[in-house]
Structure formats: structure tokens, C-alpha cells
């Protein structure tokens, strides 16, 4: 799905009438994630609906800005103002929860008390909520939104004080209160999942594992080209630094260098380039990548980030760039 198509679908949502809304809680119980529908009164649903509509429209207007871009997650770079479409083979917990909702939107027997998939205070608690999901729209046009929650979303009885609006005395909170703000971390439209808040996704351990596995598989292309003297240092960093692992996936997946430029030409460029010749050590036709700095520069090299301006004759490092058609 391209940017204009996404804008169009969000615009269509804005024009819909009589949109329905359902809220689900993602519970974490003993390390296992479970999805349960929340039984919320209509008056409260209307307030949530208003907040959801506001945040969808806010994002749509942001997306319409020329500088705001839509990219595949495998193409992440350092730019700001970007929404990512999830395109990795394996699916992390929050997106699996979204898929479970989408797959059962019209299954009336799935989210029932009999199935145990309705939030029940006798066996469930607000403290177990790891996130919530909201479906908004109609049968053939809808959006599914995921929002990660934190302890700040929960006010527990006995630990907070408040002043009643129509009273003069301060009283102790008598019930737990869970806050839903209607903001968006991830969302799904027509089977396509999008990431607005990548730092939130990176907090999930299974996503970290997915990235590491993908980066480890991708790194074999570097092994095949026999560019690096000792691959162990790269592999160690892939396993300990998810940001570096993501960059490695992006570079190897989209590199205009790998499998196009010969090994000899890569070394020749690095040796004649004023900056690279000082920063990348080459021994016996192999790059020495013992330090993080040299590893970062090596990825920039494979990403074709060292550019020359024909106009000013200046040399640049450009990690975020769009190819002109």
C-alpha cells in the first residue's frame, strides 16, 4: 500500500456514518499474552470513539504533509516523520493480537463469556493489561488500532487522592481506574499493518528475536562476498544491539552495492575515498571491523551513503535518501 492509498482509506473512514467501535484488552498472564473483549458502557464507548476519530484524523493530516513518508519496516533509516509498513516474515505479539481480532471480526462465537474471551474482574485485573486494541468502522471499511499501556495508565485504589467535582472534601480513590487515551502506536487496514511508534515495538522481546534472526540470515550475503575478515564481531553486535540489527537488515535488503558492484570495486572505492581510506582498515583484501565505528561506516558504505555533489564538489554522508525516478 502506498502513501496516497493509505491517505485515501483514512479519508474514507472519516466520511463514514454510524461507525461501530469495540475495545479489546491484551492481557499478560504469567508471560503469556491473551486477548479479551472489554464490556464497556455505551456512554464511555462514545467518548473513546470521539478520541479515536480525533487521533485518526490527526494522523491523516500528518501523513498528507509532503515531508512525511511511508516506508517498509525493512527500509528503516534515521529520518523523522515516517510511518512504517510491517514487511518482515515473522509477526510479533502486538501484530498477532491485531490479526486475531481481524480474523474474528464476524465470528460471534469467538469473543464470548463461554469462550473465556471477555474481560472478567473475577479472574482478570487492570494490572494485567499490556495494551488495548480498538476496532473502528463498518463491516467492509475499518481500522484496527493497538496502543501499548504502562503503569501510568492505571490508578489503583488507596494510592491516589482526588477531589470530587461537587464536594468540598478530599477522598481516597475507591476503585481502580484504567485510562484509555485513544492514541495510536500500530494499526491495521485491509490486512496491512503499520507502525507509528517503532520504539514501542522494539520493547517486545519477540520482535527483538525476529529482528536478530532476520539480520543473522541477511548477514550471509556479506559472508558470501568475503568482504570482512572476522564476521564474529558483526554477529555479536547484531545479537546485542537491535538498532544496529535493523540497520543491517535495511542495508542488506536494499543495498545498491551488494550483488551489483564487484568486491574489487568496493575495495578500490574505499581506498581512494579521502574519508573511508582513513576510517576503514583493509588487510589482505578484507575489511577489519573490530570497532563499532568501523562497523557503522561499513554499513554506510554498503548503503551507498557516501555521495559527491556535482554542483559544490562537496562530499556528503547521506543515510536517509530517496532515489530520483
What does residue 5 show for φ and ψ, rounded to 5 degrees?
Answer: -65, -40
Binned at pLDDT 50, 70 and 90, residue 8 comes out as very high
272-306 per-position pLDDT tens digit: 888 888 989 988 889 999 899 999 999 889 888 88
pLDDT band at 146 (very low <50, low <70, confident <90, very high): very high
Model confidence over 15-26: pLDDT tens digits? 888 899 999 999
Structural contact between residues 225 and 258, judged by C-beta atoms closer than 8 angstroms: yes
Is the confidence at residue 133, as pLDDT, over 80? Answer: yes
272's grid cell: 581512494
196 Ramachandran zone, left/alpha/beta (phi>0; psi -120 to 50): alpha
Mean pLDDT of 52-76: 90
Give residue for cell 579521502: 274
CA-based angle 283:287:291, to the nearest 5? 110
What 8-state DSSP symbol labels residue 204?
Answer: S
Q: For 165-199, how does the pLDDT look when each residue is reduced to its tens digit (9 = 90+)? A: 555 666 666 667 778 888 899 999 998 999 999 98
Residue 172: per-residue pLDDT: 62
Domain chopping of the chain, boundaries: 3-203, 207-317
Which residue is associated with the grid cell 471480526?
A: 105
* Backbone region of residue 2 per phi and psi (left: phi > 0; alpha: psi in -120 to 50; beta: other values): beta
Question: What would the pLDDT profile of 87-114 be if each residue is shown by its tens digit?
Answer: 988 999 999 999 999 999 999 999 999 9
CB 66 within 8 A of CB 3: no
Backbone conformation region of residue 158, classed left if phi is above 0, alpha if psi is from -120 to 50, else beta: left
Amino acid at each position: 500500500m502506498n502513501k496516497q492509498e493509505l491517505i485515501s482509506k483514512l479519508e474514507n473512514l472519516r466520511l463514514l456514518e454510524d461507525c461501530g467501535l469495540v475495545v479489546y484488552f491484551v492481557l499478560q498472564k504469567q508471560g503469556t499474552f491473551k486477548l479479551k473483549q472489554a464490556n464497556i458502557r455505551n456512554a464511555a464507548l462514545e467518548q473513546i470513539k470521539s478520541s479515536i476519530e480525533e487521533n485518526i484524523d490527526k494522523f491523516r493530516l500528518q501523513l498528507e504533509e509532503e515531508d512525511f513518508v511511508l516506508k517498509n519496516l525493512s527500509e528503516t533509516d534515521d529520518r523523522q516523520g515516517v510511518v512504517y509498513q510491517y514487511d518482515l516474515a515473522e509477526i510479533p505479539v502486538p501484530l498477532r493480537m491485531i490479526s486475531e481480532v481481524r480474523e474474528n471480526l464476524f465470528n460471534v462465537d469467538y469473543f464470548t463469556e463461554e469462550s473465556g474471551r471477555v474481560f472478567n474482574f473475577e479472574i482478570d485485573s487492570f494490572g494485567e493489561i499490556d495494551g488495548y486494541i480498538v476496532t473502528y468502522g463498518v463491516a467492509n471499511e475499518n481500522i484496527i488500532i493497538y496502543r501499548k499501556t504502562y503503569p501510568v495508565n492505571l490508578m489503583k485504589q488507596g494510592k491516589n487522592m482526588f477531589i470530587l467535582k461537587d464536594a468540598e472534601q478530599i477522598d481516597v480513590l475507591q476503585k481502580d481506574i484504567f485510562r484509555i487515551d485513544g492514541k495510536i502506536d500500530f494499526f491495521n487496514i485491509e490486512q496491512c499493518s503499520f507502525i507509528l511508534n517503532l520504539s514501542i515495538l522494539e520493547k517486545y522481546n519477540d520482535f527483538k528475536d525476529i529482528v536478530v534472526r532476520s539480520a543473522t540470515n541477511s548477514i550471509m550475503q556479506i559472508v558470501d562476498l568475503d568482504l570482512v575478515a572476522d564476521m564474529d564481531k558483526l554477529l555479536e553486535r547484531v545479537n546485542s544491539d537491535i538498532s544496529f540489527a535493523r540497520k543491517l537488515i535495511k542495508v542488506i535488503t536494499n543495498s545498491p552495492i551488494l550483488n551489483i558492484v564487484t568486491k574489487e570495486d568496493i575495495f578500490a572505492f574505499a581506498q581512494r575515498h579521502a574519508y573511508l581510506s582513513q576510517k576503514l582498515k583493509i588487510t589482505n583484501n578484507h575489511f577489519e571491523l573490530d570497532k563499532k565505528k568501523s562497523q557503522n561506516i561499513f554499513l554506510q558504505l554498503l548503503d551507498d551513503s557516501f555521495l559527491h555533489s556535482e554542483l559544490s564538489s562537496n562530499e556528503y554522508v547521506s543515510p536517509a535518501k530517496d532515489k530520483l525516478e
